[in-house]
Amino acid sequence: EAQVTQNPRYLITVTGKKLTVTCSQNMNHEYMSWYRQDPGLGLRQIYYSMNVEVTDKGDVPEGYKVSRKEKRNFPLILESPSPNQTSLYFCASSSRYGGNQPQHFGDGTRLSIL
Amino acid sequence: AQSVTQPDIHITVSEGASLELRCNYSYGATPYLFWYVQSPGQGLQLLLKYFSGDTLVQGIKGFEAEFKRSQSSFNLRKPSVHWSDAAEYFCAVGGGDDKIIFGKGTRLHILP
């Protein structure tokens, strides 16, 4: 089954403790992206990757890092999480970058930073 | 710059009633338009998309949307809603080499 898998689904942690949210897709997609979803603000893009070893900042990249060492994986790293990063996070992928590419989403990761 | 506006943050309809969710976009060229649905605890799922051709597009779950270039709109419709349609709906626009931009969403509530 074609899917985007995120782990963990839920995480409660404390300020400053490094964490990684993993994202993996099994569709051989070139393009992957991370979003955060906050009430009243919709989806905001954090980082994206057009292919292996190619990443770029989205609209709200501060406080986040990503890497794309393999085509299928695109982890999101919070080196020193802060409470304002408490949010619902989604990973998405599409065949390639472009405005005509429907995106496939994971089920989300709810992060709470205390 | 491209943008998407969903004027209604919340919409409440009775089960069995018809539904229309509004979406207005701004884009300098011919847009690619999408509607996604987010059910509780899940990610976004593509309902339908418009690229070109017939301006009335059919999607999954009995939804349809109509592209109106003159009004820069791409409204989502369903003739009769079911309780399972309660969710958040996102309109999105993209074009050419531009990435997809999402609206802020409309949360649909269904009255029994």
Mean pLDDT by 10 residues, chain A (114 residues): 94 96 97 94 94 94 97 97 97 90 94 96
Residue B17 corresponds to which tokens in the numbers above?
Answer: 């009633």
d(CA A64, CA A62): 6
Count of beta carbons in the 10 Å neighbourhood of residue A55: 18
Question: Is the pLDDT reported for residue B99 higher than 90?
Answer: no
Look up residue B28 and give its DSSP letter.
S
Select the residue of B36, B90, B100 nearest A99 (Cβ to Cβ). B100
d(CA B83, CA B16): 9
CB contact under 8 A, B41 and A108: yes
Between the alpha carbon of residue B43 and those of residues A4, A6, A70, the distances in Å are: 10, 10, 23
Question: Is the pLDDT reported for residue B97 higher than 80?
Answer: no
Residue A114: predicted pLDDT: 95
Mutate to test the interface with B, among A100, A104, A110 (most CBs of B within 10 A): A100
